[in-house]
């Protein structure tokens, strides 16, 4: 079997890894072994946190909706239940945006939810 010289490909692989770890602290941007470990950890964090971001934003939207609904005299759960009964299908992202930017429109949604849950 013929001998395979890996010099070119090995250098290319190491150079690519070190390019990706540019800006990392300590030896993680210059030492290949440390850079490879840091890059693996960074990729794992990025994968995990892409999912956590969705969770965090939903929590933020619910908190904003709850605060706005309490100003209208009802709890978050009462508001969501009333909106469902009224047939208003807005997701929490849009509802949160309305609560922050246009309180008068949100108040009308809250009134509609209150009437639907009372009926």
Does residue 99 lie within any of the structural domains?
Answer: yes
Three-class secondary structure of residue 15 per DSSP:
helix
Domain count, the chain: 1
Q: What is the CATH number of the domain that holds 41?
A: 1.10.1900.20
Q: Per-residue pLDDT tens for 48-84?
A: 999 999 999 999 999 999 999 999 999 999 999 999 9
Does residue 1 lie within any of the structural domains?
Answer: no
- What is the span of the domain harbouring residue 15? 9-118
Query: What pLDDT does 65 receive?
Result: 98
| Cα–Cα separations (whole angstroms), residue 60 to 4, 10, 13, 50, 66 | 56, 46, 41, 16, 10
Total-model pTM: 0.81
């Amino acid at each position: 079997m013929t001998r395979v010289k890996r010099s070119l490909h090995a250098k290319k692989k190491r150079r690519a890894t070190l390019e990706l770890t540019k800006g990392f602290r300590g030896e993680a941007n210059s030492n290949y072994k440390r850079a490879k470990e840091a890059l693996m950890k960074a990729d794992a964090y990025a994968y995990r946190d892409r999912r956590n971001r969705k969770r965090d934003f939903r929590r933020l939207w619910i908190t904003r909706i709850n605060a706005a609904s309490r100003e209208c005299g009802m709890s978050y759960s009462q508001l969501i239940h009333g909106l469902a009964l009224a047939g208003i299908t807005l997701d929490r992202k849009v509802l949160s945006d309305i609560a922050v930017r246009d309180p008068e429109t949100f108040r009308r949604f809250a009134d509609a939810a209150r009437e639907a849950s009372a009926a």
